[in-house]
Amino acid sequence: MSCTVTLEKTISFSRSSNQFLVTLIKEEDKKENTRSINELNKRKLVNYDSLPDFLKHNEFVVNYYRSEWPLKQAILSIFSIHNETLNIWTHLIGFFIFLSLAATLMLSVNGVSIPLKLHQELLVLPSFEPKTIKPIARWPFYTYLTGAMFCLLISSLCHLLSCHSKHTCYVMLRLDYTGISALIVTSFYPLLYYTFACDPFFRNLYMSFITVFGLASVIVSLVPVFEKPEFLMVRTGLFACMGFSGLVPIIHKMVAFGDRPEAVITTVYELMMLSFYGVGVIVYALRIPERWLPGKFDLIGHSHQLWHVLVIAGAYTHYLAGLVYLSWRDVEGC
């Protein structure tokens, strides 16, 4: 009798624990489903009005935004279509273009044959054997190429990851400013070093100025206290000083070497670079063309993509100027 009761109790206990387990499993399934639905929702592209404030930068780009995506999904979105896809890829391709330019130059005969060939084509000079000339220091030119690569890579990462969170967006934008400062500062190095290669006083003076302004602008970009409106003049003043510290040596170059074709050609390239950047800044600031047809350029053709292409064009023109500087000093020496 007692045995039967115990058995019934055991069966009843086992039934209820089975029930409990089934309920538990169902609950888990439900949670899992909700989680995957949330994940899916997170990966949906949204329109401008649904964005949190930190992602609202351009109301004329209306749709296809990624908003607060998990980091993994944000990284994988490099292979999907949204309104940042071309912003990411333009500068990533630009990075690889500069990487291959740097590698090709390094692998050419002492880094001499490529600038020499360009020099001979542009100036119709008699041919030199790369091995018969004494190459000038390459580091200012490689520093420029590194600055350009850093700027392009950081920019690409910034566009890829900023959609993740307010904090990520904040950090990535600061790094993006640092990359732009690096590009500006290192752009001056070939101009200053090679133009004044035989005049160490002016070479060191100009290079110290631009390096100090560059470092200051990086600090201003990275230290939060400088974001306050009362530092607006400091920020603007620093960028103006950076521009000015480029203008003075270019004028100096034309005064001192105006009769040299290398000085004229490099100045033409430098003016072309400034024009590319200038048009880029105007397109970027006025948000052309999307302001005329909001929503029509969300995926292809909006101002930020045009700005990226113009930055690459400007940086490439400067690379060509750098080659002329190298060959000038390789052939001429001091």
Site for Zn ion, rule CB under 5 A: 155
In the complex, least distance from residue 300 CB atom to Zn ion, rounded to whole angstroms: 15
User: Which is nearer to Zn ion, 77 or 155 (by Cβ)?
Assistant: 155
In the complex, least distance from residue 152 CB atom to Zn ion, rounded to whole angstroms: 10
- 249 CB-near residues (< 8 Å, 6+ apart): 188, 191, 192, 195, 196, 202, 206
Helix (H), strand (E) counts: the chain: 10, 0
First to last CA, the chain: 115
Note the Cα 62 to chain centre separation in Å.
24
Look at residues 102, 148, 114, 107 and name the one whose alpha carbon lies nearest to residue 330. Answer: 114
In the complex, least distance from residue 212 CB atom to Zn ion, rounded to whole angstroms: 27
Q: Which residues of 168-192 are buried (b: 16+ CB within 10 A; e: fewer)?
A: bbeebebbbbbbbbbbbbbbbbbbb
In the complex, least distance from residue 180 CB atom to Zn ion, rounded to whole angstroms: 9
User: Which is nearer to Zn ion, 305 or 317 (by Cβ)?
Assistant: 305
User: Which is nearer to Zn ion, 269 or 307 (by Cβ)?
Assistant: 307
User: Which is nearer to Zn ion, 135 or 289 (by Cβ)?
Assistant: 289
In the complex, least distance from residue 95 CB atom to Zn ion, rounded to whole angstroms: 13
User: Which is nearer to Zn ion, 155 or 187 (by Cβ)?
Assistant: 155
Residue 266 to residues 23, 49, 101, 134, Cα–Cα distance (Å)? 77, 47, 18, 21
